Structure 1
Amino acid sequence: MADEADLEDKTEDPSQKRLDDAFEKGNVVKSQEVNTWFIIAGATLVLMTFSGNMVQGLTTMMRGLIANAAIISMDGPALPRLFGKIGGELLAVLAIPFLVLMLAALAGNIVQHRFVWSTESLTPKFSKISPLAGMKRLFSKQSLANFLKGLIKIVILGAVMVALLWPDRDRMEGLVTMDPAALLPFTSAISLKIMGAVVALLAVVAAADYLFQYRSWYGKLKMSLQELKDEYKQTQGDPFIKGKLKQIRQMRSKQRMSTAVPKASVIITNPTHYAVALQYERGMEAPLCVAKGVDAMALQIRKIATEHNVPIVENVPLARALHATVEVDQAIPPEHYKAVAEVIGYVMKLRRAIRS
């Protein structure tokens, strides 16, 4: 009951961090029905493509063994050599079919999730050996779904096989008396017919089971509002502390600006949204940005500049360009030398005119 209550509280979609953590632990969507479908489909492909070669190769090997049974030596080291030869011939005949089946089994996992390597599932857990936990798993929704799924598969596949084999029931009764040369094509045709029907039906079962497994997996990863808040605090920091740090940074920025702007040679504005304070003295290679800001910060820069009689020059494109390209305590870029030199030259002329 407590677990169900917890699940009811988990109403929010899982965050990307929760999904990533689950993947790193090996907790991914996996439907065994999808793996089964790929293996059976691979077996059907092998039967359709390689059955003739496999039968021919195995027949040739067995004929050779039977025909030469009287002269085959099995004494001493001859027996291991015989087994080695038979194993080599079997490997040559069955290597490609086995490779196809291995690739099919691998593809059954790849199509469900990307490659994951985790030892989390190997870690010993008490819940795996706990009788109480075992009883809960035995009577869980997942177990009920697996039971119903298996029962439905048995019924449907049994009905389909009966429907496919029923028209040939008379011929099947005579298989024991059928000539071996005619037996193989008949059994091969019947097998392919059955395998094709099984592959088609299991495709529907696999798709439905994957959707069920995905919904179940996604539901278990859902989060409560409190879990979302806790995760946000862990990844982004406590909002209260972040707010305090922001206030401290703004206060320090204002204190620094109040001491840097009075030393500026000129304030370039646009005129209301941007303000860039530049300082230039003889011997400097280029003017230095001592303060900059937008909106409220720009208004504060202009206010301090007015209080300390720092010239304010309106130049919309230059103010925007400097604000975008230069940082505080950095020299202006070379592409703005000419424009800034004209502004500073204009300010110096004004100062000389006032003094004279």
Structure 2
Amino acid sequence: METAIAAVAGEILSRFISFTLKKLCSSHECLEEKGKRLEHLLTRVHTVVEETDGRYITNSGMLMQLKTLSEAMYQGYHALDTLRFQLHEESSMDKVRNSFSFSSATRLKRPRTIVFDSVNKGKMLNLEVHGALENLERVVANIGEFLALLGGYDRMSQRPYDVYLYIDNFMFGRHTEKQKLLNFLLQRSPDGAPAVLPVIGSFAVGKKTLVAHVCADERVRSQFPSILHLKGENILSIVHHEKALLGMALVVIEFILEIDGVEWEEFYSFVTRTNRSIKVIIISTHERFVRFGSVRPVFLNKLSYEELQCLFKTLAFGSADPMEHPGLVQIAEEYAKSLH
């Protein structure tokens, strides 16, 4: 009797698992199609972001659209990487499934667990891919007007070594923030007084890296032959650099410690008397330095998890195919999680 019950239970479970596996196969085919669609949309959006990043954008509305495009792009890349890795895992598991015998309920315990795990992973993956696709399709649907307006903005000239630098900076993100800094430096100050832009962000988010990248731009270097870097605790040493401030000059100040308003006023008064066309960039982790700014500050938040994962993956693989080493893709993802 017990043997008969075990045989019936085994048959029922065998049929259930066969049905579930067929459903999984159908789901995988659907995911593969979504993956192809995701890859196609990512190519389009990546091209637009790259083209935008190579122009001087002054319109605030377009900068907001650029931010939306880049966020959708990084989310899409993360979903595509996750999908590829999951499909790679499933293809390996197919060999394991085929090796199981469905003759008894005892032997079915392990494959049943594998199937349920696969179903749960499949649902989560489908939700992530679907969400990324929706975002990309939404931004692509409204991209025509953006591209039409983009053609009216000047291109940034590139030096021979810019391609390598561009890949790193593109991967790093900060597209919108970079454009805001460029706009500040290249536009005239409306009131004729030295303009001050605070760049605020927590420790190690890339404030100095961003400012250094913008200062390396050809237009910025031609407009500001003199770029002076000061520490906040030594801002009054500016009096020893009066000759460097006579032409178009940019002063970059990194504040680590607090200073009083009197010291800042003394610094700003000297700069104003010397040359009203001077521009000042403040770099600090403390929001209280926003009070010294004459324009809206640029706030740098941590890179998103998707951006960090894209960064580490590209650093690890370069132009190589990540799926040749799927385990390393997971390592890059875990590293991004630990830093986010």
Structure 1 length-normalised TM: 0.22
Q: TM-score, normalised by structure 2?
A: 0.23
